[in-house]
């Protein structure tokens, strides 16, 4: 029986490719489902054989730990060089998006304060 191994919703393309390659290299048999025409189904990688789950999960966990460390180092290097994106840079680059997000945040805080004044 098949078993869901890795959800692909909101996963960057490069990470999905690397996970597929990792599973192929280690001989783990899997198949992929997409989100469907309306984007409401579960996109993911499924194991063809459920007994491969522990081994495949260990491979993915190890990969994700290494990827997290690599991305953390990349961010720290950008920050050390002063190239990491800041709020003000994002505001200058996408003022409409930031404005909408700030307005939404203010509305949510206002709603929370008015609905729950004693908190």
pLDDT over 70 (residue 119): no
Residue with tokens 């994700």: 64
Mean pLDDT, residues 44-72: 96
Maximum Cα–Cα distance across the chain = 58
pLDDT tens for each residue of 4-13: 999 999 999 9
pTM: 0.72
Q: What does the alpha-carbon distance between residue 67 and residue 71 come to, in Å, rounded to a whole number?
A: 6
Q: pLDDT of 62-93, one tens digit each?
A: 999 999 999 999 999 999 998 888 888 899 99
Tell how far CA 87 is from the center of its chain: 21
pLDDT confidence tier of residue 54, bands split at 50, 70 and 90: very high
């Amino acid at each position: 029986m098949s078993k869901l191994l890795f959800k692909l919703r909101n996963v960057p393309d490069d990470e999905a490719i690397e996970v597929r390659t990792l599973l192929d290299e280690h001989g783990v048999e899997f198949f992929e489902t997409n989100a469907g025409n309306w984007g409401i189904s579960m996109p993911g990688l499924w194991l063809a054989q459920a007994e491969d789950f522990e081994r495949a999960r260990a491979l993915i966990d190890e990969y994700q730990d290494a990827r997290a460390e690599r991305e953390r180092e990349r961010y720290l290097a950008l920050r050390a060089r002063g190239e990491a994106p800041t709020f003000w840079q994002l505001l200058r680059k996408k003022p409409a998006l930031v404005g909408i997000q700030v307005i939404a945040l203010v509305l949510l805080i206002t709603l929370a304060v008015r609905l729950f004044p004693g908190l």
